[in-house]
A and B are shown apart, each in its own frame.
Chain A
Amino acid sequence: MGSRYLTDLADVCRYAGAVVEIDGWQYRARGSGGYDSGYPNHLIVHHTASGPSSDPWGDVNYCTYGHPDAPVGNLYLSRDGTVYVIAGGAANTNGTGKDPCGLVPDDGMNSRSIAIEAANGGTGEPWPEVQQAAYRRLCAALLAAYNIGIGQLHAHFEWAPGRKIDPAGQSKYANGSAMWDMDRFRSDVANAGAPIPIPPDDEEEIMYLATLSNGDVVLVGSTVRPASGEELTGPYANLPRFTPDPSSYWHDWLRHGADEYARRVMG
């Protein structure tokens, strides 16, 4: 049983945009528990094959509690680009398959990867631009934080060809209901980088930006480094930790959505 839980996962995801933490995510895992030393070494991207009416809470509840094999995936990416953090340990969703790059044993991906379930019907439903951009940023942040190579970013259909088709659907990476062009997606992720916080005047404060679907860049939150608390690891070790303030603009943004926030704040 692995003992590595990604307890900094929510912090890493914040570099992609808005994050909602599902209670208990830090030590939620499939039966095998956390990851073994040296893992995760893969990132697997999926679509949910579910409709807009269950996005987000119907899907998030199903992934976290409702499915008999829960947790299904580590992260859920909604159509509006918000990331829901479900499990810091290994999750169920990749299942049987074969690693295209040969680093993971057959049928061994669940315990060796981070899995993202992105909300999309999978039968040609257009992927919103804001969600596609968040998917790229999220992947870039995860790869950087956990030292996973771009070559170890795979679609579920690359791991389980013939059995799975996700991610698929109308987007920058596919026409109609076709499966995504993963080489193109990987190229974009490699060039996406992680969002960079504005250097604060006061070293205890940090501001966060988000890019809206209309291309505007807006301030979505500010935070104060906790006086004490866990240190971030990896490439983000020197960056301040994000601690949401319930009265902050960040929460306004979560409640009302980025466009509504921009309308109210920017007129």
Chain B
Amino acid sequence: MIGDVDPEDAYDADDGLEDRILVLERTVADMLGSEPDPRREIRRAQALERVDRLGEVPPEYQSRVDAVRQALEDMWPDGQ
């Protein structure tokens, strides 16, 4: 779907940590600009799973991962 490409369409679990975090950051930015709906909730839940799967990250990445997780957790399905 080139007319509706989600940032996570570029995500691949085999990619390096930097690339995976970058896609997560872009996903959050994209979702913050969209209206709450069931599809956004699916994307939010999947993004949180991907953050979990990052596991322990080197210290230099920790603040970025924390910021992504916080943004996703703050993004309630009803938009509040």
- Residues in A lying within 8 Å of B, measured CB to CB: 30-32, 46-50, 59, 62-63, 67, 69, 72-73, 92-96, 105-111, 117, 121-122, 156, 162-164, 166
| CB–CB A106/B2 < 8 A | no
Q: Which 7 A-B pairs have the closest CB atoms?
A: A49-B3, A95-B9, A69-B10, A107-B13, A92-B10, A50-B3, A162-B42
> Which one, B5, B7, B10, contacts A110 given CB within 8 A?
B10
Give chain B's interface residue range (CB within 8 Å of chain A): 20 to 34
B1 at the interface (CB under 8 A from A): yes
Residue of A with least CB distance to B9: A95
Of listed A31, A47, A62, A96, residue having the most chain B CB within 10 A = A96
CA distance A105 to B11 in the complex (A): 13
Of residues 1 through 26 on chain B, the ones whose CB sits less than 8 Å from some CB of chain A are 1-15, 19
Which A residues are CB-close (under 8 A) to B43?
A: 163
Which B residues are CB-close (under 8 A) to A117?
A: 1-2
B46 at the interface (CB under 8 A from A): yes
| CB–CB B2/A72 < 8 A | yes
Which B residues are CB-close (under 8 A) to A162?
A: 38-39, 42
| CB–CB A110/B3 < 8 A | no
| CB–CB A96/B2 < 8 A | no
14 CB < 8 A contacts A-B: A46-B1, A62-B2, A67-B5, A72-B5, A96-B46, A105-B13, A107-B13, A109-B12, A110-B11, A111-B12, A117-B1, A122-B1, A163-B43, A166-B1
Residue of B with least CB distance to A162: B42
Residue of B with least CB distance to A72: B2
Q: Which secondary structure dominates chain B's binding surface? A: helix
- Residues in B lying within 8 Å of A, measured CB to CB: 1-15, 19, 38-39, 42-43, 46, 50
CA distance A72 to B10 in the complex (A): 9
Which B residues are CB-close (under 8 A) to A107?
A: 11-13, 50
Which B residues are CB-close (under 8 A) to A122?
A: 1, 3-4
The smallest beta-carbon distance between B24 and chain A, in angstroms, is 10
| CB–CB A164/B1 < 8 A | yes
> Which one, B8, B12, B38, B39, contacts A108 given CB within 8 A?
B12
Which B residues are CB-close (under 8 A) to A67?
A: 2, 5
Given contacts A107-B50, A108-B12, A111-B12, contact A95 B2 (CB under 8 A): no
Which B residues are CB-close (under 8 A) to A46?
A: 1
Which A residues are CB-close (under 8 A) to B11?
A: 95-96, 107, 110
The smallest beta-carbon distance between A127 and chain B, in angstroms, is 15
Which A residues are CB-close (under 8 A) to B46?
A: 96, 163
CA distance A52 to B77 in the complex (A): 35
Given contacts A95-B6, A162-B42, contact A156 B1 (CB under 8 A): yes
The smallest beta-carbon distance between A180 and chain B, in angstroms, is 14
Residue of A with least CB distance to B42: A162
CA distance A163 to B5 in the complex (A): 11
Which A residues are CB-close (under 8 A) to B10?
A: 30, 69, 92, 95, 110
CA distance A96 to B12 in the complex (A): 7
Which B residues are CB-close (under 8 A) to A92?
A: 9-10
| CB–CB A63/B13 < 8 A | no
CA distance A203 to B1 in the complex (A): 42
